[in-house]
Chains A and B, each alone.
Chain A
Amino acid sequence: MSLPCGTRNYTYAEDMAIFRTKTHWVFLACLTVLLLTLPMFLGKFWMGVANLVLITLIAATGLNLLVGYCGQLSIGHAGFIAVGAFTSAVLTTKMGMPFLVGLIGAGIVSGAVGLIFGIPSVRVKGFYLAISTIAAQFIIVWGLSHWGLTGGSAGISAKDPSIGPFEFVSDTSKYYLVLFFTVITVFAAKNMARTRVGRAFIAVRDNDLAAEVMGVNLFYYKMLAFFAGCFLAGIAGSLLAHCYYGSLSAEYFTFTESILYVAILIIGGLGTTLGPILGVIFIRVLEQLLTVQVVPALERALPMLPSGFASGIAPMLFGLVIVLFLIIEPRGLSHRWNLFKAAYRLWPFSY
């Protein structure tokens, strides 16, 4: 495929390797060092943003499996994340389970709920499926904010994560914890996407009837996509509860948040490994910059306008970005990156 000139593979293992050239390994080493030393450069605020980015990346990777690879549009991802967050909080706070049990339990419960709402996908697709996931989002959030076990509208608190005797209290320690899970998730998703399962997903996405005729079990793979996507959403929700929010309220998981996840995929590029990473960084950093820096500054600069007007800027900008990306670059930032790589390799003879 898009390998640099002169790269030859002599074994199947070499052919399958993700990191194959020396440059790859150098980049990997640099990235590892950068990720591990990141807490040294970032202040308290940006540390929180880094945690949020990593957690969002887990959820976005899950959504990418579902939407990008399997082609089943879900606009209720925030709802499934909420299921995971509340499951984990209930398991640890109310039942006194350890954090890891809460984490895995959150993934499994979220995946199960995803399966329930994914059942219509066997018969319908496209817009119909989108609508039923929207319905799922509203039903889930309503259920969580009215059910006694989840604390109702008052919400529920989630304590700091701990593994054995070690407690993750500071933002830096939480960062390493989240980083660990994020790296595992991204690699697992990458490998899922390039093996049998991923190929079946892509076949279903491109034409599900043709895939079925070729012997791909539609029901199994669609359900698997929903389970995998929502499982990762649950993991992300659990980390969000313990490492980011601390105390949960169903109001955090709005419909607009769900749209934001779809936006992340579109901006990054659907059906690629790199896409969610770029999209998450773009959206979350922009969001934090806007809400923390730009909005208060504008409010102060223009006191004659009614208060609260500037909080509309972020949604306006995100909406605009979604529309513009779809029109101008529907394959997202990762496609731009590939173009850049190709141009760099061929330079100065671009033919």
Chain B
Amino acid sequence: MDQLLQLTISGLAVGMVYALIGLGFVLIWKSSSVANLALGQIVLLSSWFTYGMLVQLNLPTLLGFLLVIIFALALGWVIERIALRPLIGQPILSLIAVTLGVGYFFEGLVTFVWPANSAALPRIFPTKPVQVGSAVISQEYIWIAGISLVIFLLLTAFFRYHRLGVAMRASADDQMAVQACGIPVTKVFSMSWMFSCTVAAVGGVLLSSIGMIAHGLVATGLKSFSVVILGGMDSFGGAMIAGPIIGLAESIGGGYLSAYVSGVTDIIPFVIIIIVMMIKPYGLFGETRIERI
């Protein structure tokens, strides 16, 4: 029973972070219908950048985080401006492939600047264990779940009430109409990339603050695709509900099955992707696309 509770709480917390990274995906998909497959590498790169700021340059934590946010914003702007802008209107295959290329480049860049296999961030959150019911868990999990939730609420509010958020939703709906209304669509695209990279960076820092910075973060970024596939690619709420489900499945399934099948934790999200694809390909809350010739 203790074990179950413990696994549930850690699964929920990690799932919230997956959801956060998944939000980074949904942001871009909603505004520009581009699938960002470089998400895993962006998570990896920003985690290593955080390491560079906090450990290698030994900056104070808050200043370091500020720099990470600025870095992520700049990263999003640069990707959109250099790689995506020239490809507006190209077939979806090119759009997917270009993000793969960007991701490949980042992977090389990480090896180039930080050749070490893995590193650890300093503990950002208090590690004092707390007692929840009969289980004892580290406080960190509660912190990262809380932070993810706050960012999610902020983003939702932004999309609902802020002018730019409304513009983003509108441009997802109909680019031509939005352009006719005088909204600069390119600016909307570049803003969505900047937001997305920032969200992914925060997710990466949260994940690596409780674990390690290692190449596996790319796979973690890819795991967040299972969140968007399960929740529906164009739904914020879907991502936020699917995230904890994936996290729970991973942690509880991994916790109980690892004794029989070693290392099963890593592929549970991918198995979920395949199952969802076969049964309900547009996810729980996604919009089913009706195509016309």
Contact = CB atoms under 8 A, between A and B. Distances in A.
B229 A315 contact: no
A176 B103 CA distance: 37
A27 interface: no
A190 interface: no
Contacts of B219: 138, 255
Nearest to B223: A138
Interface string A55-67: 0000000000001
A310 B270 CA distance: 32
Interface stretch (A28-36, A93-101, A119-127, A216-224): A119-127
Interface string A116-148: 010110011011101110111011001000100
B293 A131 contact: no
Contact of A117 (B82, B105, B112, B274): B274
B103 A319 contact: yes
A138 B226 CA distance: 13
Interface in B105-151: 105-113, 115-116
- The A interface is mostly helix, strand or loop, or mixed, namely helix
A90 B172 CA distance: 50
B92 interface: yes
B97 A132 contact: no
B293 A213 contact: yes
The number of chain B residues touching the other chain, given as a range, is 35 or more
Interface in A186-207: 207
Contact of B100 (A124, A135, A210, A259): A259
A305 to B, nearest CB: 8
Contacts of A131: 35, 225, 229, 273, 277
A126 B37 CA distance: 12
A311 interface: yes
Contacts of B262: 146
Interface string A311-333: 11111111111110011001000
Nearest to A125: B92
Nearest to B292: A209
Given A71-B93, A128-B281, A316 B101 contact: no
Contacts of A337: none
Given A138-B222, A259-B104, A132 B115 contact: no
With most chain B CB atoms within 10 A of its CB, the pick from A259, A311, A315, A321 is: A315
A134 B222 contact: yes
A117 B262 CA distance: 23
A308 interface: yes
A123 B290 CA distance: 11
Given A134-B222, A323-B105, A327-B83, A309 B90 contact: no
A317 to B, nearest CB: 7
A348 interface: no
Nearest to A134: B222
A266 interface: yes
Nearest to B35: A127
A312 B281 contact: no
A49 interface: no
A132 B263 contact: no
A142 B263 contact: yes
Contacts of B281: 120, 123-124, 128
Contacts of A256: 104, 107
A75 B100 contact: yes
Given A120-B278, A131-B229, 16 more contacts: A117-B274, A123-B277, A124-B282, A126-B35, A130-B96, A134-B225, A138-B270, A259-B104, A262-B97, A312-B111, A316-B108, A316-B109, A318-B105, A319-B106, A322-B98, A323-B98
- Smallest CB-CB A-B distances: 9 pairs: A319-B105, A322-B101, A315-B108, A312-B111, A316-B108, A312-B112, A319-B104, A308-B115, A127-B35
11 contacts: A126-B92, A127-B35, A136-B274, A139-B271, A210-B293, A259-B100, A312-B110, A312-B111, A312-B113, A316-B105, A330-B94
